[in-house]
Structure 1
Amino acid sequence: MAGPIHFYFDFASPYAYCAAGEIERIGKEFGRAVEWRPILMWAVLKAHGIAPPMDVSAKRAYFLKDMQRSAAFFGLAYRHPAKLPLSSHLAARLFHATAKNDPRLAIALAHRLLPAFFAEQRDISDEVTLAGLAAEVGIPADAAADRMKGALGRSLLETAVQEAISAQVVGSPYFLVDGEGFFGADRLPQLRWFLGGGGR
């Protein structure tokens, strides 16, 4: 059986928001499972000695325009988040702790959190907001709180970050399949081409 597509991303990445629906379609098209792996991009970049892109004024000005344009290209609603950059550690812990026993529910959660942040201006660093969004996909408030703050979520997120560092992930989203890495939502056409036999 063909290996999975590892989908590394940060919940605070607008380009992950752009890519989330399309990578699922690509996975189905080529019979590949998509393994969602939320990480803390700032921690991965720090480990590689790479400056956060929004810290550079020229890049920030470009990205602020490009985020909206990219969302429009993918046919997605977009309202610039009230708080960006933002630490998505609670959202990522909640995802990983949920995925431990129910990967499909975790993916449903991700599909709710990304538009909540990038189209609805909801603060996904806030525990109460996260608990409310989790409830919308069927995760009870007490379970959501435990997964955000408990040892399991912390441990699983730490492991995911270390795996991303070892895999030489350099941005969000980052797709790893058959030993080949693709960085950015704009690399999805290349990923489709590669899975179809291109470049081999």
Structure 2
Amino acid sequence: MRTPLRFYFDFASPYAYFALRPLEALAEKHGRKIECRPILLWAVLKAHGIAAPLDAPVKRAYLMADMVRSAGFYGAPYRHPAKLPVSSHLAARLCYAVAEQRPEVVQALIHAIFEAFFVRGEDISRADVIRTLAMAQDLDMEAALEAMEGQIGRRRLAAAVDLAIAENVCGSPYVIVDGEGFFGADRLPQIAWRLSQSASSQELPEQRSSS
């Protein structure tokens, strides 16, 4: 059975937002599933001793311009956030709690959170914003609050951060394909290439000989 694509990302990462839909298309084309794993990028980078990407003024200026350019390149609706970076812990906790209780709505929720932040300019660090997004997925207010503040979301997010550190995640988005890591939305062509190689290597001998 083909292994899923493990997709590590921070909800405050515009490059993760740009990458998700193309990655979903690649996964579908190659018969793979996607394991979406929200993380707190600052915690992962801190564990590795890596400075936050927006800390250096010259790099921040470049990335701010590149985010707008990349949105155009990927054809993604985009409104530059008024505040960046922001804490995405509430959104990540919600996703992990929902994944355990109602996995069928997680992917739609992830898209909704990205669009709230990068299309409508909503502040995803605010509990009321995340609660509204949760309720749009038919989660009631009590369930949403428990997901954001309860132990399931906290525990699973902490475990995801620990696993990201162990798997040498060094940015967002970071995709693991059959044990190999790819960092950045600009790695999508290489991911497509690697998936094509993997598909070819898994053909039966008689299939290869007849092709």
TM range (shorter): over 0.9
Q: What pairs up with 1:176-195 in 2 under 5 angstroms?
A: 176-195=176-195
Match of 2:82 in 1: 82
Q: What pairs up with 1:129-168 in 2 under 5 angstroms?
A: 129-168=129-168
Distance in 2 of aligned mates of 1:94 and 1:193: 33
Distance in 2 of aligned mates of 1:107 and 1:43: 24
Match of 1:8 in 2: 8
Match of 1:48 in 2: 48
Distance in 1 of aligned mates of 2:71 and 2:141: 31
Distance in 2 of aligned mates of 1:151 and 1:14: 28
Note the C-alpha offset of 1:123. Answer: 0.5
Q: Give CA deviations for 1:37-92 in whole Å, capped at 9, x if unaligned.
A: 00000000000000001001111000100111111111111111111111100000
**SS of structure 2 residue aligned to 1:110:** helix
Counterpart of 1:180, as a letter, is: E
Counterpart of 1:118, as a letter, is: F
Counterpart of 1:179, as a letter, is: G
Larger radius of gyration: 2
Q: How many residues align?
A: 200
Match of 2:112 in 1: 112
**SS of structure 1 residue aligned to 2:32:** coil
Distance in 1 of aligned mates of 2:49 and 2:83: 24
Q: Give CA deviations for 1:121-156 in whole Å, capped at 9, x if unaligned.
A: 101010011111111122222111100000111000
Identity %: 54
Match of 2:196 in 1: 196
- Which TM-score applies when normalising by structure 2? 0.92
Note the C-alpha offset of 1:30. Answer: 0.4
Match of 2:57 in 1: 57
Q: Give CA deviations for 1:16-45 in whole Å, capped at 9, x if unaligned.
A: 110111111111000011000000000000
Distance in 2 of aligned mates of 1:58 and 1:64: 10
Match of 1:99 in 2: 99
Distance in 1 of aligned mates of 2:126 and 2:102: 23
Distance in 1 of aligned mates of 2:174 and 2:113: 18
**SS of structure 1 residue aligned to 2:182:** strand
Counterpart of 2:87, as a letter, is: S
Counterpart of 2:2, as a letter, is: A
Distance in 2 of aligned mates of 1:140 and 1:69: 38
Match of 1:71 in 2: 71
**SS of structure 1 residue aligned to 2:197:** coil
Say which is worse superposed, 188-197 or 135-144, in terms of deviation: 135-144
Distance in 1 of aligned mates of 2:18 and 2:138: 24
Runs of 4+ displaced beyond 6 Å: none
- Structure 2 stretches of 5 or more lacking a match? 202-211
**SS of structure 2 residue aligned to 1:123:** coil
